[in-house]
Amino acid sequence: MIGRVFNNRYQITERIGIGGMAEVYRAQDNVLGRMVAVKVMLPQYAADQSFTQRFKQEAASAANLQSPYIVNVYDWGQDEGTYYIVMEYVRGSDLKTAINQRGAINQRKVAEIGSQVCQALSVAHGLDIIHRDIKPQNIMVQPDGNVKVMDFGIARAKNSTKEQTSSVLGTAHYISPEQAQGKELTATSDIYSLGIVLYESATGKLPFDGPDAVSVAMKQVQDEPVPPRELNPEIDPSLEAIIMKAMAKNPMERFATAKEMRSALNDYLAGRPVMLGGGFTSAQTQVMSNVPPISPMGDGTAVMPAVGGNQHGTSKSGQSHSYMSDNTAPKNNKKKIAAIVAAVVAVVALIAICAFALGGNGDSKEQIEVPDVTGQTLDEAKSAIQSAGFTVGTVQQQYSDKVESGKVISQDPMGKSKKAKGSSINLTVSQGTQEIEVPDLTGKTADEAKKLLQANGLKFKAGAAEYSDTVDKDLVVRQNVEAGSKVAKDTVVTYYLSLGSEGSSVPNVVGQTRSAATTTLNNAGFYVTYDEQYSDSVAEGVVISQTPESGSKLKADGTVNIVVSKGKESKAVSVPNVVGQSEGAATTTLSNSGFQVTTEYQASTSVSAGNVISQTPSSGSELDPGKTVHLVISTGSGSTGGGSDNSGSGGSSTSGGSGANSTGGGSGTGSNSTN
């Protein structure tokens, strides 16, 4: 594979990874001069339609997802039977490798990773796309510390129809309980998987493990995880609470959206109370769980529990212990006083927490107005934020058709709101109008072309269909915007479908014999039919004309009709009977019928001299006008005349006789002589 060039553009340079159904290579984009990653389907799956469909689906799903925390998909296609996807080349390593090398990761870094993955999932979920395979192997950590989510290989729209078995795809260590059971998935399934990723990142260990995928999947459904702080006591209770909420067995008990989970993580990173629902913060939940119940008096005044009462609680290990007991209470006054002081401190702490919750963030810092920096350049915004007494938090980039590149689209918190001095202001900065690489539509059906264009943020239009000798009927033969060119989002791309081949040129067979013409047309791939007609100019058996004419386009197995000459048309008439007529009468009859006449003379004892003895051809024969009828004229019984002309005069005589009917008498033996 090394050195191979896909689509005359992507030159493979190095293999950088391999998965269950594909290999990933680093490659050089020879058109744009940049490094890319090319994901190539393994050859054993290329012939399997279900795998190729899933491979195409990965490209179509990921290509429409635009986020700084999602690996961009640039292109995809097929080259000599090999399916490939061209993606953004991300420098760094995957999160799984980092965990394997370092063990537990700094908890603030874990929260930052979780926040960025939540932002990526928010984009996907906003398009009704569920990732289905969130795991640390699919989260790339870049040198700058930011992450990118990749491999939407089994992602699909939640309302698409597909076999039920597809819902259990994924890695067993990270799948949700409903995914392990083959149930319908929602966005909260990705949230569960992300919870496991954060659990593993913060503790260095998986919450559920086993000898095989089935046993791990069963634990996902049935077992509760060990709280992260039991594995790593340094984990902040707020972060632990976020992770455990994300990993709730019941999807309804998890964060409702990735955006909600991201807000909780950002609150933790900013030092704000983390709201987990039910009106309590994670800090309140943590403290209140270790404080004895407070009984109100009739007037509503809170009363401390009796020091001598038998109040029970539960230790971290799950064993019951007493806060204070008559049987075990020390009789030492100093210890009683210490217990009372501890109880009072607990109540004061509780009151302080309640005041914190009711009073907002409890920050004693001055509350000042946040400057509105939307529409400003990043440098201007930073300057304004710092001048107002705030700090610049995260800066994200996002495409925008309305805000000029380099200027602030939005901010969090919003301008004009009141925040503590020194708080962080997060910014989203415009990358300008998104430039989209136009996909190659050649050879695709109309539906495939439409979906591909829409997946890339482009619009479509169908042009007039046209003939093509190279592209099959009903497939795209060309497009008006060249594939690979960069255009703005929502650009209209016109595609043209093929009508199939217009056909081959019909050879010229006019002037050939019928046999030769048939052979020529058959060799060109056509059938032949023929008609016949008379022709005064074309010899019999020769082609007079053809339909279609030579040079016309005709599809293979089409039919060509040829017209073959029958020669000149016959106008023959019946020869009249002139036997027994006088020579003059016979000549007149035949001349009137259009025939020429020749004569000869001979003696006859049965036919009177001067009358016709016989004719050739005989009467009733069919003869063309202008042809000759030959007559034999009787000279009587005494002499034989010979020779003739069309005048019917002259005669011949035998030796010693006289030539009756002759003109100018002759003597001797001059038979067949004409006078």
Gap between the Cα atoms of 159 and 154, Å rounded = 14
From the options 3.20.20.70, 3.30.300.30, 3.30.10.20, 3.30.300.90, give the CATH code of 572-675.
3.30.10.20
| Averaged pLDDT for residues 535-539 | 91
CA atoms of 35 and 18, how far apart (whole Å):
18
The reported pLDDT for the residue numbered 363 is 42
Q: Given this model, what pLDDT does residue 469 score? A: 80
Structure tokens at 199: 């659990």
Residue 576: the pLDDT is 95
Cβ partners under 8 Å of residue 544, min gap 6: 510, 533, 535, 538, 563, 564, 565
Helices (H) then strands (E): counts for the chain:
16, 35
Residue 319 has pLDDT above 50, yes or no: no
In angstroms, rounded to a whole number, what is the distance separating the alpha carbons of residues 321 and 334?
A: 22
Q: Who has greater pLDDT, 56 or 658? A: 56
**pLDDT one-digit tens code per residue, 399-442:** 777 888 899 988 988 888 888 888 889 998 988 877 788 999 99
Looking at per-residue pLDDT, the higher value among 93 and 596 belongs to 596
pLDDT at residue 639 in the model? 55
Q: How many whole angstroms separate alpha carbon 222 and alpha carbon 230? A: 20
Q: How confident is the model at residue 317 (pLDDT cuts 50, 70, 90)?
A: very low
What per-residue confidence (pLDDT) applies to 638?
65
Q: How far apart, in whole angstroms, are the C-alpha atoms of residue 600 and residue 612? A: 10
pLDDT class of 127 with cuts at 50, 70, 90: confident
pLDDT band at 322 (very low <50, low <70, confident <90, very high): very low
User: How far apart are the C-alpha atoms of 353 and 342, rounded to whole Å?
Assistant: 16
Tens digit of pLDDT for each residue in 542-569? 999 999 999 888 877 789 999 999 988 8
Tell me the residue type at 200. E
Q: How far is CA 30 from CA 3, 34, 83, 302, 605, in A?
A: 13, 7, 19, 76, 115
Contact (CB, 8 A) for 493 and 460: yes
Q: Is the pLDDT of residue 344 over 70?
A: no
**HEC states along 385-433?**
HHHCCCEEEEEEEECCCCCCCCEEEEEECCCCCEEECCCEEEEEEECCC
| Res 646: pLDDT | 44
Task: Reply yes or no: is the peptide bond before residue 617 cis, omega within 30 of 0.
Answer: yes
Lowest mean pLDDT among 78-87, 452-461, 634-643: 634-643
- Asked if domains 91-265 and 367-430 share a fold, the reply is no
Which CATH number is 91-265 given? Answer: 1.10.510.10
The CATH number for 1-89, chosen from 1.10.10.1100, 3.60.150.10, 3.30.200.20, 1.10.3720.10, is 3.30.200.20
pLDDT above 60 (res 203): yes
Which residues, listed in sequence order, are joined to residue 38 by a DSSP beta bridge? 25, 86
For residue 39, say whether it is annotated as part of any ligand binding site: yes
Range in 171-175, 264-268, 501-505, 601-605 with the lowest mean pLDDT: 501-505
Tokens of 457: 């943020």
Residue 380 DSSP symbol:
H
Amino acid 506: pLDDT: 92
Cα–Cα distances (Å) from 495 to 183, 441, 534, in that order, read 40, 8, 53
Choose the CATH number for 504-565 among 2.60.40.10, 3.90.550.10, 3.40.30.10, 3.30.10.20: 3.30.10.20
Residue 431 neighbours by CB distance under 10 Å: 16
Centre a 10 Å sphere on the Cβ of residue 551 and count the other Cβ atoms it contains.
9
Q: Where are the domains of the chain?
A: 1-89, 91-265, 367-430, 504-565, 572-675
pLDDT, one tens digit per residue, over 360-391 is 343 445 789 999 999 999 999 999 999 889 99
**What percent of the chain lies above the pLDDT cut of 90?**
43
**Calpha distance 175→195 (Å, rounded):** 10
- Give per-residue pLDDT as tens, 586-621: 999 999 989 999 999 999 999 999 999 999 999 989
Amino acid letter for position 602? Q
pLDDT of 136 above 90: yes
| Residue that wins the pLDDT comparison between 43 and 11 | 11
Mean pLDDT for the stretch of residues 282-291 = 40
pLDDT of residue 22: 80
Nearest CA among 13, 44, 143, 140 for reference residue 88: 140
Cβ-based neighbour number of residue 24 at 10 Å: 20
Question: pLDDT value at position 299?
Answer: 33
> Which residues are CB-contacts of 543 (< 8 A; sequence separation ≥ 6)?
509, 510, 511, 512, 513, 514, 517, 562, 563, 564, 565
Coil vs helix vs strand at 243: helix
Looking at per-residue confidence, does 55 or 93 come out higher? 93
pLDDT higher at 281 or 622:
622
In DSSP terms, 130 is beta-bridged to: 156
Q: Tell me what pLDDT residue 608 has.
A: 92
For the chain, the average pLDDT equals: 79
Angle, helices 258-270 vs 237-246, to 10°: value is: 170
CA–CA dist 577, 396 (Å, integer): 119
Residue range 367-430, CATH number = 3.30.10.20
CA geometry: angle at 626 spanning 623 and 631, to 5°? 70
**Percent of the chain surpassing pLDDT 70:** 78
**Confidence band of 640 (pLDDT split at 50, 70, 90):** low
What is the pLDDT, as a whole number, of residue 152?
A: 67
Look up residue 221 and give its DSSP letter.
Answer: H
Hey, which residues are catalytic here? 133
Q: Count other C-beta atoms under 10 Å from residue 284's C-beta.
A: 20
Q: What's the confidence (pLDDT) of residue 51?
A: 73
Q: What is the pTM of this model?
A: 0.44
Cβ count within 10 A of residue 508: 14
Residues 6+ apart with CB under 8 A from 510: 543, 544, 545, 546, 550
Element holding 180 (H helix, E strand): helix 177-180
